[in-house]
Amino acid sequence: MSKPKYFDSWPPEKQEEWRKNYLEYLRKYYEQNRENLLERERKYREQNREKVLERKRKYREDNRDKESERKRKYREDNRTQSAADQFFLLQGAAEQLANLSQK
């Protein structure tokens, strides 16, 4: 479903309403056909493995700063999660020791 013919001549409110309805339509379509779309994407990736890898390589080459920022955030989040895991692990061990000493 593409834009209507005279979309650009519409008032901004009507354009925004059309966009909102179109996004809702796409959301419902994706929700109803999720498995089929994922299967189609999987088949495409299998059949065009070289194209997909080349596209990925070009994107990473053209957007090195975005990629490095994404990786930095990923590492930072994992460090934070790891620290939280350690904290709760130690807290759980401390609680177990406290329970043992009470017995």
- Per residue in 7-50, pLDDT (tens digit) is 999 999 999 999 999 999 999 999 999 999 999 999 999 999 99
pLDDT at 103 over 70: no
SS3 6: coil
Provide the b/e sequence for 4-34 (b: ≥16 CB within 10 Å): eeeeeeeeeeeeeeeeeeeeeeeeeeeeeee
3-state secondary structure of 23: helix
Q: How far apart are alpha carbons 98 and 48 in whole angstroms?
A: 59
Average pLDDT in the 73-85 region?
79
What φ, ψ does residue 88 adopt, rounded to 5°? -70, -30
Indicate the pTM of the whole model: 0.52
